[in-house]
Amino acid sequence: LAKTTQPISMDSYEGQEVNITCSHNNIATNDYITWYQQFPSQGPRFIIQGYKTKVTNEVASLFIPADRKSSTLSLPRVSLSDTAVYYCLVGDMYPGAGSYQLTFGKGTKLSVIP
């Protein structure tokens, strides 16, 4: 199972772009990279997912270099409501029987300051 390493916490001012980098040195060929957001006392919420290069949706962008050993979640112009914990996950997109498991790391606690 590929393990992930993220910064424990980050602070940012409102309106700034925030980049959170996740390290996954032993990512496997079939692994997808997924990011989730979690607010206190709520379940995690899917933000974005990618396999390689760059993916963008209405809330974030995900940058994945060619070696796929890391990925960077980019949140444009953050607001106070973006204060949350952000998790990077790596998992097999074609799991065999008994081999699949999504592993959440400790996550990055993002605090947005007014």
Partner 1 sequence: KAGVTQTPRYLIKTRGQQVTLSCSPISGHRSVSWYQQTPGQGLQFLFEYFSETQRNKGNFPGRFSGRQFSNSRSEMNVSTLELGDSALYLCASSLAVGSSYEQYFGPGTRLTVT
Query: Shortest distance, CB of residue 52 to partner 1, whole angstroms?
Result: 13
| Per CB under 8 A, 87 contacts partner 1 | yes
Among 35, 107, 110, 112, which residue sits at the site for partner 1 (rule: CB under 8 A)?
Answer: 107
97 binds partner 1 per the rule CB under 8 A: yes
Residues 35-74 that bind partner 1 (CB under 8 A): 36, 41-46, 49
DSSP string over 47-101: EEEESSEEEE-SS-EEEE-TT-SEEEEEESS--GGG-EEEEEEEEESSPPTT---
- The residue among 66 and 97 lying less far from partner 1, judged by its C-beta, is 97
The answer to whether 61 and 71 have CB atoms below 8 angstroms apart is no
Q: What would the two tokens of residue 57 be?
A: 């949706």
DSSP reduced 3-state for 17: coil
Interface ranges with partner 1 (CB under 8 A):
31-32, 34, 36, 41-46, 49, 87, 89-95, 97-107
